[in-house]
Amino acid sequence: MSILSVPSTGFSPCAPRAPINLLAVGVGGQGILTLSALVVSAAMEAGFDVKQSEVHGMAQRGGSVMSHVRMGQKVFSPVIEEGTADMIVALEKLEALRHIHYLAPDGVLIVEDRAIAPLPVSTGEMAYPPDVLEQCRARAGRVEVYDGAALAEALGTARTLNTCFAGVLSRHLPFDEAAWRKGLEACFSARDLEANVRAFQYGRSVQPV
Amino acid sequence: MERKQVLSGNEAVAHGAWKHGVAFASAYPGTPSTEILEALSSYPDLHARWCVNEKVAFDEALGASIGGVRALTAMKHVGLNVAADSLMTASYTGVGGGLVVVSCDDPGMHSSQNEQDNRNYAAFAKVPMLEPADSQECVDYVGHALEISERFDTPVLLRLTTRISHTRCVVETDDERRVPAPRPFVKQPEKYVMIPAYARARHRKVEERLAALAEFAETTDLNRIEPGDGPFGLIASGAAYQYAKEAFPGAPIYKLGFSWPLPLGKLREFVESFGPGGRVYVIEELDAFIEEHLLAAGISVRGKVLLSRCGEYTPQAVREAIERDLGEAAGGSRTAARAGAPKAGIAPVAGLPPRPPVMCPGCPHRGVFYALSKLDVNVMGDIGCYTLGALPPLRAMDSCVCMGASVGLGAGLAKVSERGKTAAVIGDSTFIHSGIPALVDMVWNRSASVLIILDNRTTAMTGRQPTAASSASGSAEATEGSPPLDLARLCKAVGVAEVQVIDPYHLEEVHAALRRALANEGPSVILTNRPCGLLAEAKRDDPRAVSRDLCQGCFQCTDLACPALVVEGGQMRIVEELCRGCTLCMQVCCFNAISVCERKTRS
Ligand SMILES: Cc1ncc(C[n+]2csc(CCOP(=O)(O)OP(=O)(O)O)c2C)c(N)n1
């Protein structure tokens, strides 16, 4: 029996010619890299060529984290050009706004309604912009906002939120159920698998606010 | 059986090393190279170890190679500076078993203090260089590099950049390891003892070898033409090849996998195939390495007149530069061509609060920099997590050049400064890497500088690798009866009269130690004793909270640059989930407004 009882998305599993570009952004420690690793595994299982690029080092210490994922028949550049991301998934909303110029004109922004104060804000030197989501909506055609706190409550933990967002993303990606299942199995240990499958499933069906 | 998996370039280098029979691997951590040795540590049948610095790692790999097995050493670009003395003469001695030197360069300086182009080392040391352009090539090129090393009796440079090291992509490989027969050590003083008489003969061999390698470059499959159509051609290697392909997928491209010595004959043919007025562009990040060698050989190419010598490239940058150049060649003016294509899309949003990296909550480095920021001292700094002490609001570090430099900079600055004005700060891993000889010199030359060694018992910056002072061995193999290096005893042994071991969570203790050390006439060492907060051994205390009644909103505690402390509605708040209970904020609060979180005390 399938571990994912999810409706079929109706996408064809064959890789499109122009790569699909996904940019995942957030703050160090939010699990951005695990989220992208899951998408990458599923993409490979679905028969796509895939490249994922990230930068380690200074960024990990509470700095912005950005991970580029490109999937297609053949992928050359590991980085996404500005204005060409089909999707941006942002686990923090200021980071969504910071990277929004990567979004393609018809791209979709998936954003967690969550604010994490960067140092200049926590020291009171600068203000966290009060209208981040409005600013995002003013720039991007398609914006899906998800309430992180509500998701964490529904999941019973904030630890699998990143996997939940992979579930949200899965609705926009042409991989079949089997590919996602294998991706999940590749990315999580037997002990964590069940909780992450649950989070993924929840994300696959939850509606934006 | 061939198996598909997703590997980063670094993991792929490790897999290639295992697959192609490497028996000994050594490294000192450094972004973006670190994961090579981390990955190698989990492979069976080979010995992988962390060494105290890159030179030692290089020497040990060379020693293993002389001993007849295949060996690999990995480092970041600046690490090769530390190992360069060995590399330059290992070029003369040549190898026994194949020897691969992996250099991971960092165009764009995502996590480095400079963006030097280590392709120059291949030319400088007269050793061959391979540049993989994706993870599959990383696996395969390690094998080619080992064969070339053995065939031509030379170390081989395998050069990656951040976007190769840290890009994960699909690799097809079998899980079969092939180990060539070892070539046991044979005494050959003429080959391995580089006294002038022997070295002169070896130098001639190096020149002959280079000529043979130049011939090899013309015939190897590692260099290839990918035919296409279009009025212009491209030459590229490594990550730049991917950018060039992305920008102009249909253009003919000469892909260099074996990029030193260059296949000048083949490149000349390629360039001439575009006719007298034809344009061929060299796409290469950083230096004009390929371009200058081609121009010197009278091969006409274009490159750095269009593209920067600084930073990382993108397909966008490559496309725009070449289109502009072609537009101009077709008669359009530079500015017209530039204005020609207005970029559609969303403009970057200006004025957002930046999100700089910060010391973690509970970081044992914080208290020392807070104390230093309140003193009138000049602080010679070094490289590690603690370099964040240079950023506002702490701003308590006045130099950072390269690993180990703080100690010598402090000694030099102290000699020409007023007494009691100079301190140097260094991490434990950095001190062991290259600070120890400088400390011996501080003692020998009686420098009135204070050296603060921030011993957090790990190499935190690069992801918490062990140090000689934190663990009994640099490899997974257990070593019995050899305790880790004792830093306090080491400092005393080299003749430091006063070594103060302090608790960096105790601000009064830190201040007192600094005042005492700065008053000293001779060299003095302060050693901190708290582990990195991310280590399992780090103790975590109850989170603290700010009393709404007592907080006066003076914001003195924001000088600590702690991510757990946030200004909210004119008062401070502590983010409970982030607080590690280090108590520094309690110690700086003049109003006693901070105490153990109430919810915790009740429970
Ligand atoms: C020659 C060289 N090798 C490696 C590095 C990468 N690197 C930067 S800091 C550092 C060590 C940090 O450890 P430590 O001094 O203990 O300070 P911590 O980060 O733990 O505070 C390393 C390996 C470098 N910059 N230069």
Q: String of b and e for B8-47 (b: at least 16 CB within 10 Å)?
A: bbbbbbbbbbbbbbbbbbbbbbbbbbbbbbbbbbebeebb
- Categorise residue A17: left if φ over 0, alpha if ψ from -120 to 50, beta otherwise: alpha
Measure A94 CA to nearest chain B CA, in Å. 8
Measuring CA to CA, which residue among B64, B84, B51, B101 is closest to residue B182? B64
How confident is the model at residue B542, as a pLDDT?
Answer: 95
How confident is the model at residue A29, as a pLDDT?
Answer: 85
Q: Which residue of B has its CA nearest to A187?
A: B6
- Of B219, B254, B276, the residue at which a domain comes to its end is B219
DSSP 8-state symbol, B477: S
**Partners of B594 in the β-ladder:** B546
Strand B544-546 relative to strand B258-260, pairing: unpaired
Does residue B40 sit in the same domain as residue B90?
Answer: yes
The share of chain A scoring above pLDDT 70, in percent, equals: 89
Distance between CA atoms of residues B90 and B75, nearest Å: 16
Q: What is the CATH number of the domain that holds B562?
A: 3.30.70.20
Instruction: Spell out which residues of chain A touch residue B316, defining contact as CB-CB under 8 Å.
Output: 81-82
Domain that holds residue B556: 544-596
**CB-ligand 1 contact for B261 (6 Å cutoff):** no
How confident is the model at residue B573, as a pLDDT?
Answer: 96
How confident is the model at residue A89, as a pLDDT?
Answer: 98
**CB-ligand 1 contact for B116 (6 Å cutoff):** no
Q: Whole-prediction pTM value? A: 0.95
Does the pLDDT at position A133 exceed 70? yes
Contact in structure between B124 and B117 (CB atoms under 8 Å): no
Measuring CA to CA, which residue among B269, B277, B186, B291 is closest to residue B231? B277
CA torsion through residues B205, B206, B209, B211, sign: negative
Q: How confident is the model at residue A60 (pLDDT cuts 50, 70, 90)?
A: low
Q: Is B327 helix (H, G, I), strand (E, B) or coil?
A: helix
The tokens of B32 are what? 């973006």
Length of chain B: 603
The tokens of B557 are what? 């505690």
Measure B193 CA to nearest chain A CA, in Å. 40
> Between the CA of residue B531 and those of A42, B126, B366, B452, B469, what are the distances in Å?
39, 44, 12, 15, 12
How confident is the model at residue A157, as a pLDDT?
Answer: 93
Distance between CA atoms of residues A175 and A161, nearest Å: 21
Distance between CA atoms of residues B237 and B167, nearest Å: 16
Domain extents for chain A? 20-205
Hey, which of B402, B403, B471 would you mutate to test ligand 1's pocket, going by the most ligand atoms within 8 Å of its Cβ? B403
- Of B529, B553, B586, the residue at which a domain comes to its end is B529
Task: Enumerate residues 69 to 128 of chain B having a beta carbon within 8 A of any beta carbon in chain A.
Answer: 110-111
A199 in contact with B at a CB cutoff of 8 Å?
Answer: no
Measuring CA to CA, which residue among B383, B392, B368 is closest to residue B561? B392
Does residue B315 sit in the same domain as residue B428?
Answer: no
Q: What is the CATH number of the domain that holds B384?
A: 3.40.50.970
Residue B343 resides in a domain:
no
Q: Is A134 helix (H, G, I), strand (E, B) or coil?
A: helix
DSSP 8-state symbol, B494: T
Does residue B274 sit in the same domain as residue B332?
Answer: yes
Does the pLDDT at position A2 exceed 50? no
How confident is the model at residue B343, as a pLDDT?
Answer: 56
Does residue B138 sit in the same domain as residue B27?
Answer: yes
What is the mean pLDDT of the segment spanning A37-44?
97
How confident is the model at residue A12, as a pLDDT?
Answer: 42
Does residue B251 sit in the same domain as residue B191?
Answer: no
Does the pLDDT at position A14 exceed 60? no
CA torsion through residues A149, A150, A156, A159, sign: negative
How confident is the model at residue A62, as a pLDDT?
Answer: 79
Complete DSSP assignment for B524-538:
EEEEE----TTSTT-
Residue B358 resides in a domain:
no
The tokens of B465 are what? 């690798």
The tokens of B194 are what? 């580089």
Does residue B203 sit in the same domain as residue B231?
Answer: no
How confident is the model at residue A1, as a pLDDT?
Answer: 35
Q: Do residue A78 and residue B388 have CB atoms under 8 angstroms apart?
A: no
Domain count of the fold of chain B: 4
Contact in structure between B414 and B386 (CB atoms under 8 Å): no
DSSP 8-state symbol, B359: P
Residue B293 resides in a domain:
yes
Summarize pLDDT for B120-175 with one digit per residue, the tens.
999 999 999 999 999 999 999 999 999 999 999 999 999 999 999 999 999 999 98
Does residue B506 sit in the same domain as residue B557?
Answer: no
Q: Do residue B167 and residue A53 have CB atoms under 8 angstroms apart?
A: yes
* Number of neighbours of residue B454 by Cβ within 10 angstroms: 28
**Partners of B50 in the β-ladder:** B27
Does residue B393 sit in the same domain as residue B504?
Answer: yes
Does residue B511 sit in the same domain as residue B579?
Answer: no
Residue showing tokens 């209208």: A131
A111 in contact with B at a CB cutoff of 8 Å?
Answer: no
ipTM summary value: 0.93
B345 in contact with A at a CB cutoff of 8 Å?
Answer: yes
- Rounded to the nearest whole angstrom, what is the distance from the C-alpha of residue B436 to the centroid of ligand 1? 15
Does the pLDDT at position A59 exceed 80? no
Contact in structure between B230 and B252 (CB atoms under 8 Å): yes
Measuring CA to CA, which residue among B281, B255, B250, B269 is closest to residue B137? B255
The tokens of A165 are what? 């967002």
Q: What is the CATH number of the domain that holds B302?
A: 3.40.50.920
B348 in contact with A at a CB cutoff of 8 Å?
Answer: yes
Measuring CA to CA, which residue among B17, B46, B310, B266 is closest to residue B144? B17
Contact in structure between A64 and A95 (CB atoms under 8 Å): yes
Confirm or reject CATH 3.40.920.10 for domain A20-205, answering yes or no: yes
Extended beta strands in B402-476, E state = 422-427, 450-454
Q: How confident is the model at residue A57 (pLDDT cuts 50, 70, 90)?
A: low
Write out residues in chain B with pLDDT < 70, as ranges: 332-344, 478, 599-603
Does residue B453 sit in the same domain as residue B551?
Answer: no
Size of interface A-B (CB pairs under 8 A): 159
Measuring CA to CA, which residue among B225, B245, B240, B248 is closest to residue B304? B240
Does residue B10 sit in the same domain as residue B142?
Answer: yes
Radius of gyration (Cα) for chain B, nearest Å? 27
How confident is the model at residue B344, as a pLDDT?
Answer: 65
Q: Which residue has the higher pLDDT, A10 or B515?
A: B515
The tokens of B441 are what? 């010199």
Strand B565-568 relative to strand B571-574, pairing: antiparallel
Measuring CA to CA, which residue among B476, B451, B467 is closest to residue B535? B467
Atom of ligand 1 nearest to the CA of B434: 1
Distance between CA atoms of residues B119 and B131, nearest Å: 9
How confident is the model at residue A63, as a pLDDT?
Answer: 87
Residue B601 resides in a domain:
no
What is the mean pLDDT of the segment spanning A84-96?
97
Q: Is A97 helix (H, G, I), strand (E, B) or coil?
A: helix
Helix (H) or strand (E) holding A168: helix A161-170
Does the pLDDT at position A8 exceed 80? no
Strand B70-76 relative to strand B99-105, pairing: parallel
Summarize pLDDT for B166-206 with one digit per residue, the tens.
999 999 999 899 999 988 999 999 999 999 999 999 999 99
Contact in structure between A27 and A92 (CB atoms under 8 Å): yes
DSSP 8-state symbol, B305: T
